[in-house]
Amino acid sequence: MGCARNDVDSEELAGRLASRGWELTDDEADVVVVNTCGFIDAAKKDSIDALLAAADSGAKVVAVGCMAQRYGAELAAELPEADAVLSFDDYEDISGRLDDVLAGRSLVPHQPTDRRTLLPISPVRRQEAASSVAIPGHTRGPASGPRVLRSRLVGGPTASLKLASGCDRRCTFCAIPSFRGSFVSRHPSDILEEAQWLADDGVKELVLVSENSTSYGKDLGDVRLLESFLPRLAEVEGIERIRVAYLQPAEMRPGLLEVLLGTPKLAPYLDLSFQHSSPKILRRMKRFGGTDAFLALIEQARAIAPEVGIRTNVITGFPGEDEGDLAELERFLTEARMDAVGVFGYSDEEGTAAVGLDGHVPQDEIDERVAMLASLVDELGVQRAADRIGESVGVLVEEVGEYVEGRAAHQGPEVDGTATLRATSPAAYRIGEIIAARVVDADGLDLVAEPATER
């Protein structure tokens, strides 16, 4: 459930289980492991529904992931349908925990703690201490076995790859750092090794994920490590495209922007976490910037790569947001002309500072603002897609059938639309190819393109 980071964690769990003889099955499973999401109410509800559906199958049910980590014993008490609720600390011996479940042995659910307290406050002191803390997606296999502890659960030419885990930011609306912990970078050698493993499995596009990719390397003694590392990653044999997700606008640097948008094989694509653009609301969120600074950043990006794809998420209805703040956010979205924008209504998350702020907006007003902004960004996204008619693009082929379906470089997986190749002989194309094409039409965020050379 949840984000691409959870997808990677699920594949680590699958790799650990496969190394101990467990087999993945589509039906009649002995045990179902649900990797839950604990970010917002809607995601938590989806995770609960998945756990209940798994219990209806008659299999043993185990909850892992962010919601399980965040609530532990509380979740176990409120959801007796789950045979076990496990923490990140259980991942190393996930096979043993499932053995316990199948044998009917009782497992005492954990009492959650703030995982930020497990590592030193100073980033440069974390790497040594991190070896004794369970951090999903950071573990290497034993010297005598597979070096990459991961089994792909979904095939295809695209895969997510973890840069880091955790977050040191203190955004007042976000509880993630409390259960994911402090920011910890993966060593470049581990990332390169996993990238090559994915390439050998047929992956052509890597999506680098973390809670905050722009901080990569600060705990390794080099705050600009991402700039020097990305060109090295682009040299991995078999990888044709790389995109970096979860970029913080306040941490963007001119040198990083040049590398992201000027390095061969890096998709001209910026996934920027703006969240809002009113300086007042951003300060209340404990974030930085504002409309004019954000527009200047986008202008810099388009000066380097006019074709750059830009996506973001914004929150409306944050405590204290008035009509002026909403108008400022509208101005930003209108002038920024981004390719894709997710609009979310604010909701209280227990344990966050925003819960105690004054000026909470009534729910019906939040709903109205979400609907208004969603309509606006839908219209703007359609216009932006139409502006791309006539543009040359490289389409990564993901599906071949009656049509050839894929994504252009400015389109991230699952969220930014698709590109359909208008090909006379679809069977002549192979999944994983990147086809040079020209955009000839747009349907919403989706594009229609004609191959530069027909087959």
Distance, in Å, from the CA atom of 396 to the CA atom of 421, rounded to the nearest integer, reads 10
Mean pLDDT of 13-17: 94
Pick the closest to residue 158 from 417, 412, 445, 418 (CA basis). Answer: 412
Q: Are strands 241-244 and 205-209 parallel, antiparallel or unpaired?
A: parallel
Pick the closest to residue 165 from 109, 205, 126 (CA basis). Answer: 126
Could you identify the residue written with the tokens 């994911």?
A: 180
Quote the pTM value: 0.94
Pick the closest to residue 319 from 170, 169, 173 (CA basis). Answer: 173
So what's the pLDDT on residue 42?
Answer: 79
311 labeled part of a ligand binding site: no
- How many other CB atoms are found less than 10 A from the CB of residue 243? 23
Could you identify the residue written with the tokens 């109410």?
A: 41
Q: What's the half-sphere exposure (Cβ side, CA atoms, 13 Å) at 370?
A: 17
Residues whose CB is less than 8 angstroms from the CB of residue 391 and which lie 6 or more positions away in sequence, other chains included? 307, 438, 439
Residue 138 pLDDT more than 90?
A: no
Residue 414 pLDDT more than 90?
A: no
Mean pLDDT of 367-386: 97
Q: What is the pLDDT of residues 254-313, one digit of tens each?
A: 999 999 999 999 999 999 999 999 999 999 999 999 999 999 999 999 999 999 999 999
Mean pLDDT of 117-146: 82
Q: What is the pLDDT of residues 431-448, one digit of tens each?
A: 999 999 999 999 999 999
Distance, in Å, from the CA atom of 166 to the CA atom of 184, rounded to the nearest integer, reads 6
Contact (Cβ atoms closer than 8 angstroms) between residue 404 and residue 410: no
Distance, in Å, from the CA atom of 54 to the CA atom of 48, rounded to the nearest integer, reads 10
Q: What is the mean pLDDT of the chain?
A: 94
So what's the pLDDT on residue 149?
Answer: 87
Distance, in Å, from the CA atom of 361 to the CA atom of 375, rounded to the nearest integer, reads 20
Structure tokens at 392: 């040359």
230-236 long-range contacts (CB < 8 A, ≥24 apart) are 230/259, 230/260, 230/263, 230/266, 231/259, 231/263, 232/188, 232/192, 233/191, 233/192, 233/195, 233/206, 233/208, 234/263, 234/264, 234/265, 234/266, 236/192, 236/195, 236/196, 236/199
Pick the closest to residue 239 from 267, 209, 199 (CA basis). Answer: 199
Domains of the chain, with CATH numbers?
4-110 (3.40.50.12160), 124-387 (3.80.30.20), 389-451 (2.40.50.140)
So what's the pLDDT on residue 38?
Answer: 82
269 pairs with which residues across the strands? 309
Residue 147 pLDDT more than 80?
A: no
Q: What is the pLDDT of residues 61-101, one digit of tens each?
A: 999 999 999 999 999 999 999 999 999 999 999 999 999 99
User: What does 33-67 look like in DSSP terms, one character per residue?
Assistant: EEEE--SSHHHHHHHHHHHHHHHHTTSEEEEEHHH
Plot region of 264 (φ>0 → left; ψ -120 to 50 → alpha; else → beta): beta
174 labeled part of a ligand binding site: yes
Mean pLDDT of 231-253: 96
User: What are residue 12's phi and psi, to 5 degrees?
Assistant: -65, -45
Residue 144 pLDDT more than 90?
A: no
Distance, in Å, from the CA atom of 227 to the CA atom of 266, rounded to the nearest integer, reads 12
Sorting pLDDT into bands at 50, 70 and 90, what band is 399? very high
So what's the pLDDT on residue 13?
Answer: 95
Mean pLDDT of 11-26: 93
Mean pLDDT of 92-114: 94
Residue % of the chain over a pLDDT of 70: 98
**Residue with more model confidence, 39 or 117:** 117
37 labeled part of a ligand binding site: yes
381-384 long-range contacts (CB < 8 A, ≥24 apart) are 381/338, 381/339, 381/340, 381/341, 381/444, 381/445, 382/442, 382/444, 382/445, 383/337, 384/337, 384/338, 384/339
So what's the pLDDT on residue 422?
Answer: 93
Pick the closest to residue 94 from 172, 16, 18 (CA basis). Answer: 16
Distance, in Å, from the CA atom of 75 to the CA atom of 82, rounded to the nearest integer, reads 9
Pick the closest to residue 207 from 258, 234, 244 (CA basis). Answer: 244
Q: What is the pLDDT of residues 188-220, one digit of tens each?
A: 999 999 999 999 999 999 999 999 999 999 999
Distance, in Å, from the CA atom of 81 to the CA atom of 69, rounded to the nearest integer, reads 17
66 labeled part of a ligand binding site: yes
Q: What is the pLDDT of residues 304-340, one digit of tens each?
A: 999 999 999 999 999 999 999 999 999 999 999 999 9
| Start-to-end CA span in the chain (Å) | 40
Amino acid (1-letter code) at residue 124: V
- How many other CB atoms are found less than 10 A from the CB of residue 92? 13
